[in-house]
Amino acid sequence: MRRGAALIAWAIAAAGMYALQFLAERKPDLDAGVYAYAKAGCGDYPGFLSALGYWVGSCIGNVSYWVSIKSTLGAFFPVFGDGNTIPAILVASMGIWLFHFMIQRGSRKPPLSTRS
C-alpha cells in the first residue's frame, strides 16, 4: 500500500517537473519563479495566491523538518524531548535563521587559481 502511494507521489512530482520544463521553454522571459507562470496565465491575483501557497508550504516544511530533527535528537538528548520543548524550539529557530542568513548572503565563486 505504501509503495503505491509513493509511486503516485513521484508521478505527480514528475508531471509537475515536466510541466515546468515545458513552460520554461515556451516562456523563457519569465524568470521570477513558479508564480510568474500563474500570474502570466491567469492574472495578478492567482499569481499572488501561487506565491503565497509556495511560501506557506515552505514555512510548514521547514518547521516539520526541524521538529522531526529535534524529535530524533530527543532520543539521545532528553532535553529535546519530542521536538516540542523550549530548548528544541530555540535550537530549531536558530537553525532556521542560520540557513536564512546563509541563503540571503548568497553563494560566491571561489577565485580561480592562477596557472604557472
In degrees rounded to 5, what are phi and psi of residue 70?
-70, -35
Task: Let me know the angle formed at the C-alpha of 106 by 55 and 88, rounded to the nearest 5 degrees.
Answer: 55
Global pTM reads: 0.60
Give the pLDDT band of residue 112 (cuts 50, 70, 90): low
pLDDT over 60 at 26, yes or no: yes
In degrees rounded to 5, what are phi and psi of residue 114?
-85, 140
Would you state the pLDDT for residue 91?
92
